[in-house]
Structure 1
Amino acid sequence: MLEDDPQLLSCSDDDGYTALHRAAYNNHLETVAFLLDRGSDAEARTKQGWTPLHSAANWGNYEVIGRLISHGVDVNARSNGNVTALHLAINSQCENAENIFHSVRYLLQAPGIDIGVASGAGDTPVELARRTSPMLYMLITDHLNR
């Protein structure tokens, strides 16, 4: 089907989510790889300004985060509220602490990551981690001390 109509890769729903956003959100790693390999826009934005990386980070989908990073996405992309994937990973909707830890770790290891970005609410990732998780705060401060 994609061979017949490659523009399907850029179709989005009413909120601006593309197939890549949905695959990242739902942790479908093979689908993410398939879509990226066929030219899906890894920097596509939803109406809230989220990229597929934001979608993966919000739900602790660290393997998808790793795949998107290896594809070369902008790890410092900011949503309409000036929120980065790192902000979302720290405040993840995921209930699995291990997935959250790995998501934050993958993002911290990404080339060029800026951990000093303040969200629209004025929170930096360091401040969010300090308030929400001693484990993540330690991970981020360890990164800062390197």
Structure 2
Amino acid sequence: MSFNLCYDKTVMLSNSSKYAIKGVLYLALNSDSDHKIMVRDIFEVVHVPEAYLAKLLQELSRHGIISSTRGPRGGFYLSEDDRKRTLMDIVKVIDGEKRVNSCVMGIKDCDMSNPCVLHKLVGSNKSKFITVLESTTILDLIEGKQDIEEFFPL
């Protein structure tokens, strides 16, 4: 078994977190308080089912990670403060902190003093991955980017 295969299968984000990040990136590139976006205008571009994306964005909005307003001119958008949120802020809302920090094999008592068989193999890389999630903001990802196709190829 190669390390990459092991790492990819055990440490990757859930599909829900990936979908949420895609939706947030779209909002970061295309919205602000004067230009709100409806889910129906996003889902095909980011390749996420409409109802599922709506649920994820609503959850992020409820937790103050993104902004939204109701009504005829309503929709989702990112404020300047929202753009400073980290990827980990999104992942924690969608997956919960417990999932991010859990054992890659799902063993309840796995830690440095009682490691599972994969702990040493993926432990330091998982820590690096978590650090990237904690230190990378939405703004970091979109700075200098204008073309939506850089994020969501056809």
Q: Which has the larger radius of gyration?
A: 2
Instruction: Pick the structure with more helix per residue.
Output: 2
Scaled to the shorter chain, the TM-score interval is under 0.3
Q: State the TM-score, normalized to the length of structure 2.
A: 0.24
Q: What is the TM-score of this pair, normalised by structure 1?
A: 0.25
